[in-house]
Amino acid sequence: MKVLPVLKHCAQFDEDSNVRFLAINELGRNWNSQPDVFNILRNCAIHDPFNPQNEERNEVENPRLRAIAAIIKQYPYDAATTNLLKDRLENDSDEKVRKFAMRVIAGFSQ
């Protein structure tokens, strides 16, 4: 079985937010040079259904936040990264994601 297709699927479609988080983390760490990984991470950063109020445990990590962090680390100079950060600052439903985007944008402008 090939790992990359499984990771791509889990990152986008698994019902468990922990599984999505781990798959996104792995894609960002070890597969960033593969075609479509940036687009998958971007899609996860925008469309992942994570809602902190719906999670049973507080220690569950937000997959959208992990996807944004992976994009910043692997694609810091891509114009699409800056556009994504601005979009998440204005439109993300999770305050943690909005604050993270604001801190990163402030760091980019220094």
Distance CA 47, CA 35 (A): 20
Using one digit for the tens of pLDDT, what is the confidence trace for 18-48? Answer: 999 999 999 999 998 999 999 999 999 999 9
Q: Are 67 and 44 in contact (CB under 8 A)?
A: yes
Q: Where are the domains of the chain?
A: 3-108
Nearest alpha-carbon partner for 72 in 64, 82, 60: 82
Using one digit for the tens of pLDDT, what is the confidence trace for 77-87? Answer: 999 999 999 99
Give me the chain's average pLDDT, please: 92
pLDDT(56) > 70:
no
